[in-house]
């Protein structure tokens, strides 16, 4: 039994066999074959070994021609591993002795080899683990050929174990039998984490090397309550976790009973709880969880497929989201592309520091035709419901004014074409850079609403990459600078009569609820699955208590003091909830 700790991004407990997904999305299930099938499977293995050696040989010659003998030498080691008779003997031994398929036998032997290299004290030899991973992927690709499966074809519940997932891979999970996710890398507010949180199944990230210790078919427990993953649990641990899972399910069922009740404090102060969504169907999910509307529709996820959506496709998507909101307010954010969310067209445009590069509103203003297509689609959809448009990651007033001018251009295009649209659409902005926060007063004069995006705001305030698990301990919403910035923005907006909400992941964490409403926020937007617990907490407290908690939290000097205090105060209200 092995226990690894990481960062939980979605609560709950999942228990199932593992499916290990490598970097090329090859699913390696524990598949048994009949004795009659062993011979053909061995033939497939020998063919894959020969093909892999041939491919590496060609790669060796190409690199030698372009970069010289030294650079090409690494491929000689790859060829040596594949030609080693002991490797073939070990793989065939599992096939004949345990009736494993060729793919599963290859995966099992190669992962065992990776573990041996990881344990070597010589750092040069330990680095060979990466070469073994590369060899494994090539060999598996040639073993599976065109019969390679993906996770959409799973026939039973499973836990997905991988080094990392792209946003497009993560987005596909909701239509599979995956019940939990465990990744080697990733931070709590990476875009993969955001999608996993919206999906609602238990997930733990930043586990470092779990994917090299687990093989397909191994039993794995994902404990999203305690930030842990247990690989190969013993029977006593399994029984304990089955009991914990049953208790958690009862808690969630009890929370869902609050759906029709308002998020109102004990002394009668109403707080609106909205949903953050990535896909149109999630608007309906948000309403099922009791959302008062959609506070953030992240439209960039429409652009992450093989082709960028045209105006009609976007219009239809926005209309579906508006219909799913059942007449409630829908705030559509224009696309936040760049950084780790790139279109197919941008895949080959690497930047040295993408989080500080050509992303979000900057990207939109440099691709005006693409931007106007989206704005036209939003304006047309605005006729079908209560819609607002919001511009992301602004740092200067000029960016806001250019975005508003582009919106006017889109209106003119529709007028000239005789197409009807929502002419009185409210314009707002994401407050997610220190520059914008320091100029909040000036920005507030030019918008109808402000939404504080804490994911990026914290990242830029604390100079910490929110997707990098190596610096995750520095990324915290409890930092006094974060608290003071939020306080100042809320005060400025209230004074200027501008609607102010908060839509970052901080809004969905119960430990910050008392603080946020105590600072004056009356609208929070979060992953739909977080709404019931936040509603329960709000209904359990008084506004006087929340204001007292916020005032005290602002006096602390360190993030640890803030976190400990807020957690203690929250536990007093929800003693049985896993906060």
Q: Which structure tokens are listed for 19?
A: 């499916």
Q: Pick the residue with more confidence: 24 or 317? A: 317
Dist CA 505 CA 477 (whole Å): 9
pLDDT at 127: 56
| pLDDT over 90 (residue 487) | yes
Angstrom distance (rounded) from CA 225 to CA 211: 21
Sorted by where each starts, the structural domains of the chain and their CATH numbers stand as: 2-26+151-253 (3.50.30.10), 35-147 (1.10.274.10), 263-573 (3.20.20.60)
What was the pLDDT predicted at 354? 76
Asked if 104 and 30 touch (Cβ cutoff 8 Å), the reply is yes
461-466's contacts with Cβ under 8 Å and 24+ in sequence apart are 461/434, 461/485, 465/187, 465/355, 466/187, 466/188, 466/189, 466/190
Rounded mean pLDDT, 150-163: 84
Give the model's pLDDT for residue 113. 87
Per-residue pLDDT tens over the stretch 503-536: 999 999 999 999 999 999 999 999 998 999 999 9
- Reported as a single tens digit per residue, the pLDDT across 221-280 is 999 988 899 999 999 999 999 999 998 888 888 888 888 899 999 999 999 999 999 889
Residues noted as catalytic: 191, 503
User: What percentage of the chain has pLDDT greater than the value 90?
Assistant: 62
Listed in sequence order, the residues at least 6 apart from 403 whose beta carbon sits closer than 8 Å to its beta carbon are 334, 361, 364, 365, 391, 394
- pLDDT band for position 356 (cuts 50, 70, 90): confident
Give pLDDT, residue 168. 56
Bridge partners for 495 per DSSP: none
Nearest alpha-carbon partner for 401 in 435, 365, 454, 372: 365
The burial of 89, by beta-carbon neighbours within 10 Å (0-12 exposed, 13-18 middle, 19 or more buried), is given as exposed
Instruction: Find tokens 């429409």 and name the residue.
Output: 302
- 128 sits in the region (left: phi over 0; alpha: psi -120 to 50; else beta) called alpha
Pick from 316, 329, 331: nearest CA to 281: 316
Q: Grade residue 198 by pLDDT with cuts at 50, 70 and 90.
A: confident
Q: Residue 62 above 90 pLDDT?
A: no
The mean per-residue pLDDT over the stretch 77-93 comes to: 92
More confident residue, 8 or 439: 439
Residues of the chain above pLDDT 70, percent: 89
Can you read off the two tokens belonging to residue 79? 């060829």
Question: φ, ψ for residue 84 (rounded to 5)?
Answer: -65, 120
The residue among 126 and 173 whose pLDDT is bigger is 173
- Considering the entire predicted model, what is its pTM? 0.71
H-helix or E-strand containing 183? strand 178-183
pLDDT confidence of 344, banded at 50, 70, 90? Answer: very low
Tell me what pLDDT residue 361 has: 96
């Amino acid at each position: 039994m092995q226990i690894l700790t990481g960062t939980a991004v979605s609560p709950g407990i999942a228990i199932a066999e593992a499916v290990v997904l490598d970097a090329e999305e090859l699913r390696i299930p524990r598949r048994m074959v009949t004795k009659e099938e062993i011979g053909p499977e061995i033939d497939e293995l020998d063919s894959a070994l020969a093909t892999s050696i041939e491919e590496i040989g060609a790669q060796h010659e190409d690199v030698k021609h372009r970069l010289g003998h030294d650079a090409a030498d690494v491929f000689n080691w790859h060829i040596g591993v594949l030609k080693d008779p002991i490797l073939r003997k070990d793989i065939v031994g599992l096939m004949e002795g345990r009736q494993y398929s060729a793919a599963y036998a290859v995966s099992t032997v190669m992962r065992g080899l990776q573990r041996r290299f990881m344990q070597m004290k010589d750092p040069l030899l330990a680095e060979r683990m990466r070469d073994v991973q590369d060899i494994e992927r090539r060999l598996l690709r040639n073993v599976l050929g065109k019969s390679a499966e993906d996770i959409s074809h799973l026939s039973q519940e499973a836990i997905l174990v991988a080094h990392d997932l792209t946003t497009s891979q993560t987005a596909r999970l909701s239509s599979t039998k995956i019940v939990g996710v465990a990744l080697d890398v990733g931070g709590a507010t990476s875009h993969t984490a955001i999608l996993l949180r919206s999906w609602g199944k238990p997930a733990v990230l930043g586990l470092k090397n779990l994917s090299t210790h687990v093989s397909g078919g191994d039993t794995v427990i994902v404990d999203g309550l305690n930030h842990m993953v247990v690989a190969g649990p013993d029977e006593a641990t399994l029984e304990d976790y089955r009991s914990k899972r049953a208790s958690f399910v009862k808690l969630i069922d009890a929370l869902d009973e609050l759906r029709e009740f308002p998020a109102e404090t004990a002394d009668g102060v109403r707080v609106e709880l909205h949903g953050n969504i990535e896909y149109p169907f999630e608007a309906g999910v948000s309403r099922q969880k009791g959302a008062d509307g959609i506070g953030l529709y992240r439209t960039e996820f429409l652009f992450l497929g093989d082709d960028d959506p045209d105006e009609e496709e976007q219009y239809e998507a926005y209309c579906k989201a508006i219909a799913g909101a059942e007449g409630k307010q829908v705030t559509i954010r224009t696309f936040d592309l760049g950084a780790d969310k790139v279109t197919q067209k941008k895949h080959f445009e690497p930047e040295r520091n993408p989080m500080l590069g050509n992303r979000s509103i900057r990207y939109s203003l440099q691709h005006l035709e693409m931007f106007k297509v989206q704005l036209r689609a939003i304006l047309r959809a605005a006729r079908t419901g209560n819609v607002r448009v919001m511009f992301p990651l602004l740092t200067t007033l000029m960016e806001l004014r250019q975005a508003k001018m582009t919106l006017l251009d889109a209106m003119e295009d529709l007028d000239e074409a005789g197409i009807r649209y929502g002419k009185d659409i409210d314009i707002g902005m994401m407050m997610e850079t220190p520059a914008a926060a320091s100029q909040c007063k000036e920005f507030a004069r030019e918008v109808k609403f402000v939404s504080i995006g804490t994911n990026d705001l914290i990242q830029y305030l604390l100079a910490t990459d929110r997707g990098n698990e190596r610096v995750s301990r520095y990324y915290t919403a409890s930092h006094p600078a974060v608290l003071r910035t939020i306080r100042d923005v809320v005060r400025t907006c209230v004074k200027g009569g501008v609607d102010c909400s908060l839509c970052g992941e901080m809004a969905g964490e119960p430990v910050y609820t008392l603080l946020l409403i105590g600072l004056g926020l009356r609208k929070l937007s979060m992953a739909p699955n977080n709404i019931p617990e936040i509603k329960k907490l709000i209904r359990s407290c008084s506004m006087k208590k929340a204001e007292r908690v916020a005032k005290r939290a602002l006096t602390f000097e360190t993030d640890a003091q803030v976190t400990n205090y807020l957690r203690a105060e929250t536990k007093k209200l929800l003693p049985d909830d896993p906060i």
